[in-house]
Amino acid sequence: MSLTLESVRGIFLETQAPSAIPDILTRFQELNLEDQLALLWYAYTETGRSITRAALGAARMELAEGLLTEIKQMSRPDQTQVMVDLARRADTPFSRTYGVFSVNTKLGFWYRLGELMAQGVVAPIPEDYKMTPEAETLLNRIKKLDGGQQITVLRNTVVDMGYDPLKADNAPVKELDPKFIRPEPAPKTKTLEGIPEPAVLGYFEAMNEDRFETAAALFAPEGSLQPPFQQPIVGREGIIRYMREEAQGLNMLPEQGICEVQNDGSKQLKITGKVQTPWFGVNVAMNIAWRFALNTQGEIFFVAIDMLASPEELLNLRPSK
Ligand code: 45D
């Protein structure tokens, strides 16, 4: 029997609790725009996760500088309007420029803007701003998440902002942006007990060095990668493009795993561990599971990357009988 995407997407899924993040993101979109910005601001400033300076240097901010200069010269109401336009994905010149930035440049832009708001150079969220009860409830839910999930909420909302005419047509990710430079080398991938699979170990090793072609070559030609809360990306080319955009500078720290050989000789593995983003470095560890299906040639036919709800889940490798 040959592997199909449908047959492998659900492997080990019963060992994981559903994540709260998709629902939080849906409810966030239902808030009014002022609430959206205020809630993110409080989630960003009050959760006390600090961005590392090294990451900002690595993000190469030339592209964002233009917009930051422009925004500094505006009146306060216009500054607020620009932020609202970004949040509502309005088709304005400003939102279009932002919309085609890479993920890392978008994050860097908001990071600098946040600094300018804190300094009073750019209009802050008014001190007496009162969020609606819906926004309050959502903020409290976000505060209860662990650090890795909190920054995921921030990231996903920021990435969604702005107007991208290409995205509307489902065009592939563009490669306009400079490379995000890894601030420091990743820790060496250690061997994983009970996981002798070269494709899996090679995957972590290559990802930790940003060698995405090498990582993608470990996939079957029809292989796919399913990022957290997203549909699978099928084929090596698409996987490479995705990784260039989303995986630069990540530290992958797999800790444990299991490997189950199927009757047809294919394999299913679940590996759990931590992932660090260069933005927060060692300050935030994301608890992650990789669910791999390898074909009989030992190639990666499928890997899902899941954000776990709690550190306890790192040890849930087998379904409870
Ligand atoms: O004024 O194996 C606000 C893959 C609003 C690849 C703001 C992966 C208002 C394969 C916006 C709040 C990639 C899938 C200001 C693995 C306001 C693979 C500012 C997984 C000022 C493992 C907000 C990788 C700011 C993962 C500055 C899971 C917010 C990576 C900044 C996850 C937020 C990375 C930042 C994450 C968030 C990075 C910098 C979650 C960064 C998050």
Domains of the chain listed by start with CATH number: 5-17+179-315 (3.10.450.50), 31-168 (1.10.2090.10)
pTM of the entire predicted model: 0.92
Q: What is the pLDDT of residue 1?
A: 59
Q: Show Cβ contacts of residue 166 under 8 Å, excluding neighbours closer than 6 positions.
A: 100, 174
Q: What is the pLDDT of residue 191?
A: 83
Q: How far is the CA of 29 from the centre of ligand 1 (A)?
A: 17
Are 290 and 282 a contacting pair, CB within 8 Å?
A: no
Ligand 1 pocket: which of 109, 250, 255, 270 to mutate (most atoms <8 Å of CB)?
A: 250
Q: How far is the CA of 155 from the centre of ligand 1 (A)?
A: 3
Residue 39, ligand 1, Cβ within 6 A: no
Tell me the sheet residues that pair with 287.
Answer: 274
Q: Considering only CA atoms, which residue is closest to atom 35 of ligand 1?
A: 155
Q: Show Cβ contacts of residue 7 under 8 Å, excluding neighbours closer than 6 positions.
A: none
Q: How far is the CA of 303 from the centre of ligand 1 (A)?
A: 21
Q: Considering only CA atoms, which residue is closest to atom 24 of ligand 1?
A: 247
Residue 67, ligand 1, Cβ within 6 A: no
- CA dist list (Å): 27 to 22, 31, 88, 139, 237: 9, 7, 15, 11, 34
Tell me the sheet residues that pair with 260.
Answer: 268
Residue 71, ligand 1, Cβ within 6 A: no
Q: What is the pLDDT of residue 276?
A: 95
Q: How far is the CA of 224 from the centre of ligand 1 (A)?
A: 22
Q: What is the pLDDT of residue 261?
A: 95
Are 294 and 269 a contacting pair, CB within 8 Å?
A: yes
Residue 49, ligand 1, Cβ within 6 A: no
Closest CA to 278 of 54, 43, 47: 54
Residue 152 CA: which ligand 1 atom is closest? 40
Give the chain's residues under pLDDT 70: 1, 167-179, 320-321
Residue 124, ligand 1, Cβ within 6 A: no
Q: How far is the CA of 261 from the centre of ligand 1 (A)?
A: 35
Q: How far is the CA of 236 from the centre of ligand 1 (A)?
A: 24
Ligand 1 pocket: which of 150, 155, 245, 255 to mutate (most atoms <8 Å of CB)?
A: 155
